[in-house]
Amino acid sequence: MKRMKQPLVVHWFRQDLRLSDNPALNAAASRGKVLPLYILDDVNAGEHAMGGASRWWLHHSLIALQNDLNGSLVVAKGDAKKILVELVQNFSIQAVYWNRCYEPWRVQRDTQIESELKSLGITTASFNGSLLWEPKDINKPDGTPYKVFTHFYRKGCLSAPEPRNPLSVPENLELAEDLGPSMSIEDLELLPSTRWDLKLENYWKFGEEGAQERLNGFLKSGLYDYKKGRDFPADEKVSKLSPYLHFGQISPNQVWYVVKAQGSNKNVDHYLSELGWREFSYYQLYHYPDLPDQNMNTRFNNFPWKDPGDKFKRWCKGQTGCPIVDAGMRELWETGYMHNRTRMITASFLTKNMMVHWWHGEQWFWDCLVDADLASNSAGWQWVAGCGADAAPYYRIFNPVLQGQKFDPEGNYIRRYVPELKDLPNKYLACPWEAPVSVLREAGVKLGETYPRLLVDIQASRNSALAAFNKISK
């Protein structure tokens, strides 16, 4: 890149791949000409480097951002601290601005970067661009953090000052140009060598435009029946904004105020509380940085988890013989997304019926989800496994048959992703092992051949999990 004499302000893009409601970008634009920068830092990410589906999403999202910036985005790969130090040493950089991230490895790295840049005489500033409330600002009256969601959200968040209003795209945004060649987005090598990702393109549109389109579609077709409809995976009643929120192609503030403007009713309130759950996940990660690796409830350190083995591979592939579980796992592989209800069902089946450690499921989701998020993924898996915050006073075990019958009563979801069962009557669709041989034959189903036999006995495995839990509880 060429040296520039005119002082520049670096806006370091991270999980805020948007121009609107971007506090750090607005601050940078108000100070001078902006050098927009993205750094893929796998060096410091370690075991929490992005999984395959997230890298695919990032590739296309960076292309969208590059287009929005008229080709001015500078792309780099490597140790972020080293790259930023070299940048300020080789160019006339007066400040570096960014929006905060909350993953422990990023917090540690950013603290080091801030110290290093200040020692070089560079102004730094960070902003909240990804949460409605800062985790450090929400505490119980005694100053300790909340451990129950309802209290966190109702007493903590809703009693705190209202989230800030969204910002417009900065009118005075002047971008640095003619810096010479930089790394291309293709050079980041984010796409898989075996192009399993091509099928995902049928389901998603990227960038701020894709996020706004998704939000508008949800307002028209999902929000009006959200509180009830969100539990039925065959229906399009959820927003599917999670990947856009994770990568910052839309901010929670934008979503909060647009949804709130639809009026005060049970559906609006329930959706806003789901944004609250996202906040609670980050809150847990902030106060408990070992969340991705350690049980919050340490009693589960003694839980007799089983070796994952081949049964885990069958769970990953959607070959457990339990239709609602298999439908969820196949939706994940086909689309890079899984409905929240089936996320809970599949996770419960793995950790309770199969008694496989939640780490294994969390890692599979991390690699396959386009919305893989360290806070939400870790908190969600610990919640289902029973070892996390806000756990039920009893050991919650989802019955996958009853869940399928209740939340996919017409079988539309199962038939969509488990087509080999499509001709079974609804009565047996969630439990084909209970169907008479004549019914199976008429539907063209042969258990063990055209569709797997059930991986574990539902009732027996439930009893084993309860016995194990009772043992560690004593």
Catalytic residues: 274, 277, 305, 340, 358, 381
List of E strands, 63-151: 74-77, 93-99, 123-127
Two tokens, residue 156: 């903590």
Q: Which residues contact 264 (CB under 8 A, 6 or more apart)?
A: none
Cα distance between residue 287 and residue 291, in whole Å: 9
Strand order in the sheet with 93-99: 74-77, 33-40, 8-13, 93-99, 123-127
CA distances from 302 to 63, 295, 387, 471 (A): 47, 10, 11, 9
Best CA proximity match to 150, nearest among 302, 42, 288, 279: 279
Two tokens, residue 195: 């192009």
Which residues share a beta bridge with 95? 9, 123
Cα distance between residue 348 and residue 412, in whole Å: 22
Query: Residue 76 burial (CB < 10 Å; 0-12/13-18/19+)?
Result: buried
| DSSP secondary structure letter of residue 306 | B
Cα distance between residue 125 and residue 109, in whole Å: 15
Query: Residue 304 burial (CB < 10 Å; 0-12/13-18/19+)?
Result: exposed
Best CA proximity match to 348, nearest among 337, 361, 338: 361
Cα distance between residue 357 and residue 472, in whole Å: 15
Identify whether the C-beta of residue 381 lies closer than 8 Å to the C-beta of residue 347. Answer: yes
Q: Looking up tokens 């292309």, which residue turns up?
A: 63
Two tokens, residue 289: 């940085």
Q: What is the dihedral of CA 135, 45, 338, 163, to 10 degrees?
A: 20
CB atoms within 10 A of CB 236: 13
Identify whether the C-beta of residue 96 lies closer than 8 Å to the C-beta of residue 104. Answer: no
219 half-sphere exposure, CB direction, 13 A CA radius: 15
